[in-house]
Amino acid sequence: MALIDTYGRRINYLRLSVTDRCNMRCCYCMPAQGVAKLEHKEMLSYEELYRVSAACVEQGIEKIRVTGGEPLVRRGLVDFLGRLSALPGLKELVLTTNGLLLEELARPLKDAGVARLNISLDSLQPETFARITRGADLNRVLAGIDAAQKAGFGPLKINMVVMRGVNDQEILDFAALTLDKPFTVRFIEYMPTLQDEGWGAQSMPGSEILAAIGERYPLLPLVSSEMAGPARNYKIQGAAGAIGIITPVSGHFCESCNRIRITATGRVRGCLFSEQGTDLKPLLASGDPEALGQTLKRIVTQKPGRHHIAEEDAEQAVVNMSRIGG
Ligand SMILES: Nc1nc2c(ncn2[C@@H]2O[C@H](COP(=O)(O)OP(=O)(O)OP(=O)(O)O)[C@@H](O)[C@H]2O)c(=O)[nH]1
Ligand SMILES: C[S@@+](CC[C@H](N)C(=O)[O-])C[C@H]1O[C@@H](n2cnc3c(N)ncnc32)[C@H](O)[C@@H]1O
Ligand code: SF4
Ligand code: SF4
């Protein structure tokens, strides 16, 4: 079965948020005081997450990215992933993490069948890193990346959200990581999810990031695979790894959007920036797989063509990234 939306886009990628909790408080994702935590009973249980994933796969989802909050803080995750990776019809189980708990969990994640990891890392300077994450320890993330490589994950994707005046002076250091390591380093435009004043001045366009790298290194464009996410990929000539640019603000990639999202509370959402969504909990409680499938189809039908975050008069509500899963 295939899920095709009204714009002819084939939806085969589910971003599944398993928790709203996080062991960091990144300045671009959460307000300084953090966000109100969900009560445990508000979150989908693993059994519900499994049933909902199975319904998605039945409708045509082929790739599931587990996210959060920080997915690795939820207890029992590895066992859940082991079950999920064996779901018939699922082609790829992947995970996005801040890396803080990877040193302990990289090997179990690999054994559970997680195919690839995307790791968020916004600075290679301990103080800048602690400032961005409001207190996290860079060395733990670096140890986590090391453990992931040793566990056999590869190629690792490293996500850097670029913020002018905060970490943009490290763009070349991040690009240089790809010279002798098989990492794909992805530079991401800072999105106005918190609706913070001055976001526009901080968000650096992908073209500027690319130009800065191109001035220092010769870059070759790469072709993306069918199930790929939104990055445009390049390679520094002769480098072991690759470079990706993700431009949700300056050059949205909505026309090739292939995804839906399910939040930790069980709301299915057609678009990161659309508040329209449906609570799947009552459907899960009714135990009617048919109704679940119909609802997923309807969400895909209602999926908006694109976001409007970069338009001056756009009325955009605050997007709770840690609840939705980015
Ligand atoms: N606007 C927008 N941003 C997205 C979307 N999906 C991912 N992002 C952002 O892109 C960045 C990277 O996300 P990842 O979790 O690594 O997922 P991905 O880029 O789909 O990963 P791959 O499947 O490995 O290509 C994050 O900052 C996300 O918030 C999307 O559908 N729309
Ligand atoms: C919400 S996090 C969840 C997974 C995990 N905690 C992590 O940080 O990798 C998923 C992704 O969203 C990105 N993100 C969050 N807020 C963002 C923003 N305002 N602009 C761009 N990317 C953002 C993060 O950098 C991360 O790569
Ligand atoms: S959910 Fe991810 S991006 Fe958001 S605060 Fe946590 S680690 Fe940072
Ligand atoms: S903003 Fe919405 S439509 Fe555009 S790529 Fe993201 S989820 Fe898809």
Question: What distance in Å separates the CA atoms of residue 283 and residue 280, rounded to the nearest whole number?
Answer: 5
Q: Is 56 annotated as a binding residue?
A: no
> Is the CB–ligand 2 distance for residue 326 below 6 Å?
yes
Q: Are 104 and 141 in contact (CB under 8 A)?
A: no
> Is the CB–ligand 4 distance for residue 246 below 6 Å?
no
> Is the CB–ligand 2 distance for residue 159 below 6 Å?
yes
**Ligand 1 atom 2, closest CA:** 248
Q: Is 27 annotated as a binding residue?
A: no
**Residue 1 belongs to some domain of the structure:** no
**Residue 6 belongs to some domain of the structure:** no
Q: Is 254 annotated as a binding residue?
A: yes
Contacts of residue 45, defined as CB under 8 A and 6 or more positions apart, other chains included, come to none
**Residue 8 belongs to some domain of the structure:** no
Question: What distance in Å separates the CA atoms of residue 260 and residue 11, rounded to the nearest whole number?
Answer: 7
Centre of ligand 1 to C-alpha 55, Å, is: 23
Closest ligand, as measured to the CA of 263: 2
pLDDT, position 284: 92
Centre of ligand 2 to C-alpha 28, Å, is: 8
**Ligand 1 atom 13, closest CA:** 326
Question: Could you tell me what percent of the chain has a pLDDT over 90?
Answer: 81
> Is the CB–ligand 4 distance for residue 91 below 6 Å?
no
Q: Is 260 annotated as a binding residue?
A: yes
**Residue 245 belongs to some domain of the structure:** yes
The CATH number for 276's domain is 3.20.20.70
- Assign 3-state DSSP to the chain and report helix, strand, coil percentages, each to 5: 35, 20, 45
pLDDT, tens digit, for every residue of 63-122?
999 999 999 999 999 999 999 999 999 999 999 999 999 999 999 999 999 999 999 999
Q: Is 46 annotated as a binding residue?
A: no
Q: Is 28 annotated as a binding residue?
A: yes
**Residue 17 belongs to some domain of the structure:** yes
Q: Give the pLDDT of the chain (326 residues) as one tens digit per residue.
A: 899 999 999 999 999 999 999 999 999 999 888 888 888 889 999 999 999 999 999 999 999 999 999 999 999 999 999 999 999 999 999 999 999 999 999 999 999 999 999 999 999 999 999 999 999 999 999 999 999 999 999 899 999 999 999 999 999 999 999 999 999 999 999 998 988 888 889 999 999 999 999 999 999 999 877 666 689 999 999 999 999 999 999 988 999 999 999 999 999 999 999 888 899 999 999 988 889 999 999 999 999 999 888 776 666 778 889 889 99
Residue 158 token pair: 């490293």
**Residue 4 belongs to some domain of the structure:** no
pLDDT, position 310: 76
> Is the CB–ligand 4 distance for residue 46 below 6 Å?
no
Question: What distance in Å separates the CA atoms of residue 314 and residue 128, rounded to the nearest whole number?
Answer: 32
> Is the CB–ligand 3 distance for residue 35 below 6 Å?
no
pLDDT, position 133: 98
Q: Which amino acid is at 203?
A: S
How many domains is the chain built from? Answer: 1
Contacts of residue 10, defined as CB under 8 A and 6 or more positions apart, other chains included, come to 2, 3, 4, 60, 258
What does pTM read for this prediction? 0.96
**Residue 24 belongs to some domain of the structure:** yes
pLDDT, position 227: 62
pLDDT, position 287: 86
> Is the CB–ligand 2 distance for residue 20 below 6 Å?
no
> Is the CB–ligand 2 distance for residue 97 below 6 Å?
yes
> Distances in Å between the alpha carbon of 179 and those of 30, 80, 81, 176, 208?
33, 36, 32, 5, 21
Q: Which domain holds residue 94?
A: 13-324
**Residue 7 belongs to some domain of the structure:** no
